[in-house]
Chain A
Amino acid sequence: MKKQLISLKNIVVSFAIIIALWQIGFMTSNVNSSLFPSPSQAFQALVEMISDGSLFINIGASMGRFAIGYISSVVIAVLLGLVLGRLKCVFQYVNPIVQLLRPISPMAWMPFIVLWFGIGDIPAIVIIFIAAFFPVLLSTVSAVGEVDPIYFKVAKNFGIQQPQTMWKIIFPAAFPQIANGIHLALGTAWVFLVAGEMVGAQSGLGYLVIDARNNLRADILLATIIVIGLIGLILDALLKLLEKQILKSWGGGK
């Protein structure tokens, strides 16, 4: 509890410093305020977006896409990773392809995605899916490879058969490392949500960014950017909490 208070204090202080620097920068520069809004202008824009309801509608739209893209990506990548982690001979051939695809920014696929799936919700979902997929897949495969062989010996001795070995032994043994990958992928996927919504979407946080640009509303633009950062921060904290909870019930973490 005391630790949490200290970290809360750290957050408040660091935010206060950045807002103060921003205010000083605003007052000392003579850039047009429609190009560089002050903290209070951004705050007013935020209030405006909240009161006309547009902020929460767009957050809702983004969160829906994010949930579908991220969760389906994690589930498929973990399942595939568990299987590939056990089938080393197959993974040898899959790995080069994965290593080729991994460094390609999901955004590079955008033209194809739009051509194949049209515009609307799908492009953003696909982009998020791709962004989360590879980190989770690779961390799962390597986690499975590092499971202590004694667990397999115990499983064999106690007559645990193949499908059960997967969820009774391999998954829980590999979970801490898999969770790391899932966590990393959350940040990456959130980054690409906004990028995905900037093309072809008619709602969502990415759309708000584009819309503010088109209307020359720097204050709304900045307010939206801050909201994107805050939601990313909250999602990260929530996932950390969930991870901790699972690890605790599995006798990990202290």
Chain B
Amino acid sequence: MALLRLEHIVVNYGSIKALKDISFTVEEGEIVTLIGSNGAGKSTTMRAITGLKELAGGKIFYQEQDISKWSTRKKVENGIVLSPEGRQIFPRFSVLENLRMGGYLRTKAQCEETLEVVHQLFPILKERENQPAGTLSGGEQQMLAVGRAMMGGPKLLLLDEPSLGLAPLVVKDIFSLIQKIRDLGTTVLLVEQNARSALKISDRAYVLETGKIVLSGTAEELLRSDQVQKAYLGM
């Protein structure tokens, strides 16, 4: 059984059809990437999965349960956590407070445990524990966003544009960290404009264009595909 399955999802913003018909799966232990240009519907898909945006049609299944109408809270409780586009950290909270917010629904013991892991993955977050999050650099904030999402103890971690606006060296770090997270047992669904780096660490990927999936396959297949190379890899 797939960990996550989307069946013919439709999402509208007023009269604009953002997602026309999206279906895909994510198996446990995978890193799956959604690539596509701006406005293709990648972020909308993530928002729909977490419940930030309601579905106009279609269903979402998590561990074969229909979660289409679940509240965000319920989803987080059950292990689906999103690190959103633009990071959306709490600027006035310290780094530590941000992380603790991630563990809002969990027990103190669980939080302490995960905090350890997060500090190991992102040592800079321990260093800057008490700094107001708003004063961190872009890369540090991204790490904070991911770390905070991990504090929710996800089975399925959704990462929306984790490399956006970051310096190339930092981007490298982020992607290797994503692999480490997967190695620790968390399934990852990734949305990225930086198609090359994303595909390099993914198992499978889907290509979105104007609200529909136009291509799917293993990461290698897509990396080698002419279509993808021309459209998204700049070749």
* A and B are interacting partners: no
Interface residues of B (CB under 8 A from A): none
A residues contacting B by CB (< 8 A) are none
